[in-house]
Amino acid sequence: MPKRFEFSAEFEHPVERVHALLTDETYWRSRIPPESRGTVEVVGAVDGDGRPLVTVTMIETVDADSFPSLVRTVVRGEMRMQRVDSWSPVGDGRASGRVEGTSTGIPVVIDGVYELRPHRGGAVLDVRGSVTVKVPLIGGRIEVLARQMVGQMVARDRDAARHRLAEGD
């Protein structure tokens, strides 16, 4: 059964600045450590309704030995994780988006939505969605771990964005 998640990240900067950063290729490339086996691609396009859309695709290949023992019982060798963030433009002081994640080795699906909105003179990013892992017997326990990983991802994104935004002040 999918595990639902809800996380928020607050920023001292306005929605427009946070959105500009979250759709900036230079920012995302700076997030990939040189020693990692990760890639990032940022593409501007138009959605089915003719609205501009920015898609950020991140792929990272990691050795399974870096995961908790529960995950290592299912995955041997390398695991390729893909995260795709899609953002609509800012309109009426808000922006929305989607986050999708998949991996090889374990059939994990992360499906969520972003809402970037004004909050206390700055902005807040709300992230809501679900994690589904289709592995008999232990899938539910891995879903709990994956949900925790999504929370950690949101916290890392928040911290990196705050740091970069503060540099621009």
Residue 52's H or E segment, with its range, is: strand 52-63
Which residues lie closer than 8 Å to 52 by C-beta, 6 or more apart? 44, 45, 46, 88, 89
Which residues lie closer than 8 Å to 91 by C-beta, 6 or more apart? none
DSSP annotation of 89: P
Q: Which residue has tokens 């499906």?
A: 111
Q: What is the pLDDT of residues 85-110, one digit of tens each?
A: 999 999 999 999 999 999 988 888 99
- Closest of 126, 129, 112 to residue 4, by C-alpha: 129
- Domains, the chain: 3-167 (3.30.530.20)
Q: How far apart are CA 122 and CA 169, in angstroms?
A: 14
Mean pLDDT, rounded, of the chain: 91
Q: Which residues of the chain have pLDDT under 50?
A: none
Q: How far apart are CA 60 and CA 107, in angstroms?
A: 16
Q: How far apart are CA 168 and CA 148, in angstroms?
A: 31
pTM of the model: 0.87
Q: Could you tell me how many residues make up the chain?
A: 169
Task: Give me the pLDDT at residue 137, please.
Answer: 67
